[in-house]
């Protein structure tokens, strides 16, 4: 996918994050404190880049696009500091600043013919990864010093800005003409001219885009090395340069000459790199291992540490012996090994090791030895004491002595040198800590209802315990991750696990909801520690080229926790003591046991893995054992005050989150995946409990499929890791970090999308085997973990030293999404259901719906069957008494309470009274019943279950699913829909609906004044909305909605005694009541919503194999169109022909012909149907051509094979064109099968 020449992801995100049109030019030139403005600056045609990696070698690379010479020059003295102030709107932050100096030929300054010496280069300037270029974004200047040996004359000083964050890389040069005096004999060393300048390949290799965001990755400046070290050295160092030129032993001479005992004895072991002059011939330096790296920079040679440090009084006796015994060891220390060098340098006048004179440490971008000396001398002249101290500190940073403690090559205490089995021990233990944290986030969800019952709180309040725990994931990483980089991983683990286990006891024993919520926030904050620090442990112990499989194994843990949580919690809820008043405690006892076990494992089996902490402990131990307080390590010497340290560390994750494009875009993508993951975890119970009817415990087992997907992920990631290792071996260097993203780009993202599509495609219908939606969890789990692992690997490989902070920044963002997701649930109405004993199969048979806010209004549409069921009669009475102000519904299934005489009325009233007592208000509850006709309700069971039913109510999608199941009789799946309706004024209202029905479906409902003497069918439906609407408008809206939706469906043409559709509107949306265009739009959109809901009944028709839409067009009136559509849809001959896949259009015409005689009201002015104008055709829903049966009364030659193919489809449209008007009507039905007879031959619920 990505190779060496491909576009880097790091560059891509940087380019997306930064503007590309506004750059800048040098606006002010200051030399030696004198401001020359722009007078000596060469002017350019535009502010764009002079060159990119696509066109290196063009003439503009010298001084900028179309650069022209200035009319004057600036004066300068050799040794002056030159400051370049660029445009204040400079947008880029990633890249070096390089300065060149080239002498003009006489008075002519042709930038394309000048040989330039590089006199300065600056890259990363601090431990936080700040590049020198970032100064420009704040309007600050960048600077360079003119070498003191520069010969007098006219020069071009060229300041170059390299923008590494663009695609392709951009270079911005700016030249100024200066007159230099007071100089020396001239510069020497390598030069470069523009053109040809840099080659494309050289720039790509040296810029190393894949490493620009990593402080631990090598960066090599393009072009030659900095010119003539000799011109920049102190007099003593220049003497050594002369010795080296003469071929004398610098080490011995220098050591012997400078060994003194003045208070404290000093040993000076000087290894001076004279860059170009020395490295171009065989080395004459005794004891020096000279190494050449790209860019002509000499690099550090590493030497063995003496076994015993001499005491002060014997130092002079060891000088010549140690000077002659130094032997070269390895090349540059890599990311696994440190170096302990042996030149004590505790006084300011000591000279550095060989690496101090190197141009730039390719690993850390440390300042050059020459630039340090020059800066220090300049600061002394200016009397800037602080600057002197700062430069001395920088100098001392590179001065290595036997008292400086760090890892040696092969050091057994270096975590990266531990045995492989021990690294895996630490990796697996870190993964268990993650598992503990994520398990605690999900397992209490199984006992939410018990918490509600125990403390008497709503579903929303009970859910906050999960939200606050996840909010702790947001708070915790910003503290624990950077603090672990100060004091080590293990102490933080111990502290946080101790707090977690202790406060979990508080959760289990909480006397009230407030205490429980506070404890959950604290435990969530403490549990956040492993989320980032465990990843830090993995990166501490594994080298980058071996990181793939360990980090992949670790990446599984955040997902196994939420998978195991519902399984454990589900069985606890079903079989444990969770059903008792305090049974929810066991979910927290489970967390307590697991957390305490993890704490013991950390204390006894997890070592400290953070390298700087191990080294600091070693230094303290040496000071204690030897009594010599001179032992120190880098973290101690360079550590700022604790307040500043905490401020920097605590803000680093946030700074990474807002300033680093890699972190920003990675966090956005992973957060989206994380949010979808949490919604998917919500979908599994809906599918396997709601649709498939599994028990609580068994439905939790559905998450095993996700665990299987995680197992497949481990197999695939091993294959990718082998590819990564192969590339590393072939190139003999670390592959680009973008290779860590290949699993997501090639496999993970596709598997994730396929899993979601698969789950949605197979999870909505009970007739689909449960194995199908469960299998969707395999690609879903595989894809989610593959995406997570890839980005985790990518961030850890990019931000090695600060990997915990980078992972913390990522965790903060995704945890915000995870914490908020549980609160996305609609809070319009509360719902609930349970089994009270009506149905023999133990399914839900009693449900409730109630408004969550006051001011609810209601509307109703009932059947007009002569034998109206008691619930219909009583609800009609309540609706009248309350003036359309009912706010609750009680529903039962299994018994219709129809044709039950006076006792049926008493029972219906008793059901509503029991609910009203709970609500504390009269005439507020409507009732619906469905099931077997002629049987009395087990009223004592029902009324005795009302109080527990209220405890089961919740404000989430699960409760609506439970309510939908309580409606079901012969239905094969629960039928519910939800939608957001956007109104013309910009307001939005929410709507949710449930209906039931599979047989006895042929409704025509409405208020008594609009009901005809037609047969009606079995259908129950309820629609709830937060729209602010009056009861009158709601009733009128419902009349229109029912007429165009529920009254336009038929399954078998038979009616029930219980047809009812109710609507509730509680106005929770706020604002004025709907009127005008908003009310019209609300009615139109609600009609479409109800049509979708009504069609679910037809699709679930008893024994149905086809969903059929009958469309009648060009009728003289809607009523006649409706007559014809209904006549065809209810014809038994038509329906059986469709089941038999027989294109028998004669039956359709027969139904059209007797439609006017069916008794359906139509307008008396309607003209009669003209058979010579009628057209009939089948229209496939797959977009294929129509099958014409009749055109203008004339039969068509029907392709029987094509017709049979169309009739095999599950969805079919029948189009009938009357050609005598412009009105249309739609009716929906299904076929009539053998299965229908089987179902209704022995109907029991």
Secondary element (H or E) of residue 1240: helix 1234-1241
Strands (E), 607-720: 632-633
Backbone angles phi, psi at 35, to 5 degrees: -90, 120
Crossing angle between the packed helical segments 777-798 and 661-685, to the nearest 10 degrees:
160
Alpha-carbon span 549 to 1238, nearest angstrom: 57
Q: What tokens does 79 get?
A: 């040794």
Alpha-carbon span 786 to 790, nearest angstrom: 6
Q: Is the peptide bond before 196 cis (omega within 30 degrees of 0)?
A: yes
Helix (H, G, I), strand (E, B) or coil at 56: coil
Q: Which residues are annotated as a binding site?
A: 969, 996, 1018, 1102, 1240, 1245
Note whether 939 and 910 are within 8 A (CB): yes
Catalytic member of 85, 532, 1018, 1037: 1018
Q: What tokens does 846 get?
A: 């009693």
Alpha-carbon span 774 to 777, nearest angstrom: 6
Note whether 443 and 534 are within 8 A (CB): no
End-to-end C-alpha distance for the chain, whole angstroms = 59
Active site residue 1018: yes
Alpha-carbon span 727 to 610, nearest angstrom: 28
Q: What tokens does 156 get?
A: 């071009």
**How many CB atoms within 10 Å of residue 703?**
27
Give ∠ CA 960-966-971 in degrees, rounded to 5: 105
Q: Which residues are annotated as a binding site for substrate?
A: 969, 996, 1018, 1102, 1240, 1245
**How many CB atoms within 10 Å of residue 1130?**
21
Going by the DSSP 8-state scheme, the letter that residue 1046 receives in this structure is G
Q: What tokens does 639 get?
A: 């550590």
CA-to-CA dists, residue 280 to 221, 288, 297, 357, angstroms: 20, 15, 12, 16
Alpha-carbon span 344 to 263, nearest angstrom: 15
Alpha-carbon span 969 to 1058, nearest angstrom: 13
- Tell me the β-bridge partners of 981: 989
Among residues 162, 472, 226, the alpha carbon closest in space to that of 360 is found at 226
Q: What tokens does 1037 get?
A: 């809206």
Note whether 1225 and 1046 are within 8 A (CB): no
Alpha-carbon span 452 to 583, nearest angstrom: 12
Contacts of 19 (CB under 8 A, 6+ apart): 91
Q: What tokens does 869 get?
A: 């069921």
Alpha-carbon span 183 to 185, nearest angstrom: 7
Helix/strand/coil (H/E/C) assignment for every residue in 359-417:
CCCCCCCCCCHHHHHHHHHHHHHHCCHHHHHHHHHHHHHCCCCCCEECCCCCCCCCHHH
Backbone angles phi, psi at 392, to 5 degrees: -65, -40
Note whether 435 and 601 are within 8 A (CB): no
Note whether 968 and 974 are within 8 A (CB): yes
- Name the strands in the sheet holding 975-982, side by side, starting at the edge strand that comes first in the sequence: 857-862, 1060-1065, 1020-1025, 988-996, 975-982
| Residue keyed to tokens 């890699």 | 662
Alpha-carbon span 780 to 802, nearest angstrom: 31
**How many CB atoms within 10 Å of residue 829?**
28
Q: Is the peptide bond before 371 cis (omega within 30 degrees of 0)?
A: no
Q: Which residues are catalytic?
A: 1018
């Amino acid at each position: 996918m990505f190779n060496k020449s491909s576009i880097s992801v790091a560059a891509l995100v940087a380019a997306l994050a930064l503007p590309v049109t506004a750059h800048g030019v040098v606006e002010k030139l200051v030399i030696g404190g004198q401001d020359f403005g722009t007078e000596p600056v060469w002017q350019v045609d535009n502010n764009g880049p002079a060159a990119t990696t696509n066109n290196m070698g063009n003439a503009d690379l010298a001084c900028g696009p179309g650069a022209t010479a200035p009319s004057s020059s600036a004066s300068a003295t050799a040794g002056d500091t030159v400051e370049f102030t660029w445009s204040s709107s400079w947008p880029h932050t990633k890249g070096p600043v390089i300065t060149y100096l080239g002498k003009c030929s006489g008075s002519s300054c042709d930038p394309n013919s000048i040989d330039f010496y590089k006199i300065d280069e600056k890259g990363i300037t601090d431990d936080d990864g700040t590049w020198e270029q970032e100064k420009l974004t704040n309007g600050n200047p960048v600077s360079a010093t003119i070498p003191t040996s520069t010969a007098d004359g006219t020069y071009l000083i060229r300041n170059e800005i390299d923008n590494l964050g663009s695609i392709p890389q951009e270079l911005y040069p700016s030249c100024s003409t200066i007159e230099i005096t007071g100089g020396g004999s001239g510069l020497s060393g390598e030069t470069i001219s523009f053109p040809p300048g840099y080659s494309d390949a050289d720039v790509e290799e040296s810029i190393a885009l894949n490493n620009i965001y990593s402080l631990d990755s090598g960066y090599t400046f393009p072009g030659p090395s900095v010119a003539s070290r000799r011109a920049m050295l102190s007099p003593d160092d220049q003497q050594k340069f002369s010795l080296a030129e003469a071929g004398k032993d610098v080490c011995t001479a220098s050591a012997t000459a400078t060994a003194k005992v003045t208070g404290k004895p000093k040993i000076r072991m000087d290894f001076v790199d004279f860059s170009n002059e020395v490295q171009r011939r065989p080395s004459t330096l005794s004891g020096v291992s000279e190494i050449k790296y790209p860019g002509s920079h000499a690099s550090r040679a590493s030497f063995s540490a003496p076994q015993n440090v001499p005491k002060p009084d014997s130092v002079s006796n060891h000088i010549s012996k140690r000077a002659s015994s130094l032997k070269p060891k390895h090349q540059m220390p890599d990311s696994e090994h440190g170096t302990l060098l042996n030149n004590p340098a505790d006084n300011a006048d000591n000279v550095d090791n060989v690496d101090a004179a190197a141009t730039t440490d390719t690993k850390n971008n440390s300042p050059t030895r020459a630039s340090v000396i020059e800066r220090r001398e300049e600061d002394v002249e200016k009397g800037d004491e602080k600057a002197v101290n700062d430069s001395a500190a920088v100098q001392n940073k590179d001065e290595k002595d036997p008292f400086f403690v760090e890892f040696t090559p092969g050091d057994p205490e270096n975590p990266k040198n531990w045995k492989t089995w021990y690294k895996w021990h630490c990796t697996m233990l870190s993964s268990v800590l993650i598992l503990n944290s994520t398990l605690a986030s999900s397992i209490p969800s199984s006992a939410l209802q018990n918490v509600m019952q125990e403390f008497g709180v709503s579903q929303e309040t009970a859910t906050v315990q999960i939200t606050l725990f996840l909010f702790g994931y947001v708070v915790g990483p910003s503290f624990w991750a950077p603090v672990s980089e100060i004091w080590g991983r293990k102490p933080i683990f111990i502290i946080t696990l101790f707090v977690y286990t202790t406060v979990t006891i508080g959760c289990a024993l909480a006397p009230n909801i407030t205490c429980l919520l506070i404890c959950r926030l604290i435990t969530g904050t403490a549990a956040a520690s492993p989320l980032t620090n465990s990843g830090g442990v993995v990166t501490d112990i594994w080298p980058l080229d071996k990181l793939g499989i360990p980090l992949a194994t670790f990446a599984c843990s955040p997902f196994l926790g939420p998978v195991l949580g519902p399984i454990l919690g589900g069985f606890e809820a079903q079989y444990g003591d969770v059903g008792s008043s305090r049974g929810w405690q066991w979910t927290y006892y489970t967390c307590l046991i697991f957390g305490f076990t993890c704490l013991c494992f950390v204390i006894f089996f997890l070592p400290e893995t953070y390298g700087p902490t191990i080294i600091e402990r070693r230094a303290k131990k040496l000071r204690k054992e030897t009594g010599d307080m001179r032992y120190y390590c880098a973290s101690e010497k360079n550590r700022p005050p604790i307040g500043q340290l905490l401020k920097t560390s605590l803000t680093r994750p946030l700074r990474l989150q807002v300033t680093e494009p890699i972190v920003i875009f990675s966090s956005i993508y992973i957060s989206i995946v994380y949010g979808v993951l949490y919604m998917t975890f919500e979908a599994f119970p809906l599918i396997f409990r709601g649709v498939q009817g599994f028990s609580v415990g068994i439905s939790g087992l559905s998450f095993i499929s996700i665990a299987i997907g995680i197992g497949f992920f481990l197999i695939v990631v091993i294959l990718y890791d082998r590819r990564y290792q192969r590339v590393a071996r072939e190139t003999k260097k670390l592959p680009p970090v973008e290779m860590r993203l290949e699993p997501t780009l090639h496999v993970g993202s596709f598997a994730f999308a396929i899993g979601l599509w698969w789950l949605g495609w197979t999870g909505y219908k009970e007739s689909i085997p449960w194995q199908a939606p469960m299998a969707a969890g395999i690609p879903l789990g595989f894809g989610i973990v593959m995406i997570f692992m890839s980005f985790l690997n990518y961030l850890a490989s990019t931000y090695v030293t600060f990997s915990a902070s980078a992972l913390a920044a990522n965790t903060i963002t995704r945890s915000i999404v995870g914490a908020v997701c549980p609160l996305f649930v609609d809070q319009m109405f509360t719902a609930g259901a349970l089994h009270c004993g009506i149905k023999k199969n133990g399914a839900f048979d009693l449900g409730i719906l109630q408004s969550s806010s006051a001011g609810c209004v209601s509307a109703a549409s009932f059947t007009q069957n002569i034998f109206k069921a008691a619930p219909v009669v009583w609800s009609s009475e309540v609706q009248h008494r309350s003036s359309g102000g009912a706010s609750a519904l009680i529903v039962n299934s299994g018994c219709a309470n129809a044709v039950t005489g006076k006792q049926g009325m008493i029972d219906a009233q008793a059901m509503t009274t029991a609910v009203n007592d709970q609500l504390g208000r009269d005439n507020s509850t409507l009732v619906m019943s469905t099931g077997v006709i002629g049987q009395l309700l087990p009223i004592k069971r029902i009324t005795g279950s009302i109080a527990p039913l209220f405890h089961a109510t919740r404000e989430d999608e699960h409760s609506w699913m439970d309510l939908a199941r309580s409606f079901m009789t012969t239905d094969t799946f629960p039928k519910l829909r939800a939608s957001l309706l956007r109104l013309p004024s910009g307001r939005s209202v929410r709507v949710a609906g449930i209906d039931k029905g599979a047989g006895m479906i042929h409704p025509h409902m409405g208020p008594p004044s609009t009901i005809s003497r037609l047969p009606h069918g079995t259908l129950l439906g309820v629609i709830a909305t937060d729209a602010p609407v009056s009861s009158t408008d709601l009733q009128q809206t419902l009349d229109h909605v029912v007429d165009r939706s529920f009254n336009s469906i038929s399954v078998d043409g038979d009616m029930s005694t219980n047809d009812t559709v109710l609507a509730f509107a509680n106005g929770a949306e706020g604002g004025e009541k709907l009127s005008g265009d908003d009310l019209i739009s609300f009615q139109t959109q609600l009609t479409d919503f109800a049509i979708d809901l009504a069609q679910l009944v037809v699709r679930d028709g008893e024994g149905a194999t086809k969903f059929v839409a009958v469309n009648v067009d060009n009728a003289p009136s809607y009523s006649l169109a409706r007559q014809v559509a209904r006549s065809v849809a209810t014809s038994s001959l038509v329906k059986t022909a469709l089941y038999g896949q027989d294109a028998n259009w004669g039956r359709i015409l027969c139904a059209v012909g007797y439609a006017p005689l069916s008794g359906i009201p139509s307008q008396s002015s309607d003209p009669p149907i003209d058979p010579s104008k009628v057209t009939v055709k089948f229209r496939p829903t797959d977009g294929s051509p129509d099958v014409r049966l009749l055109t203008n009364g004339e039969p068509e030659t029907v392709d029987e094979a094509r017709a049979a193919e169309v009739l095999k489809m599950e969805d079919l449209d029948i189009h009938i064109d009357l050609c005598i008007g412009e009105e249309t009507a739609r009716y929906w039905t299904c076929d009539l099968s053998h299965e229908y007879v089987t179902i209704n031959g022995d109907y029991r619920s």
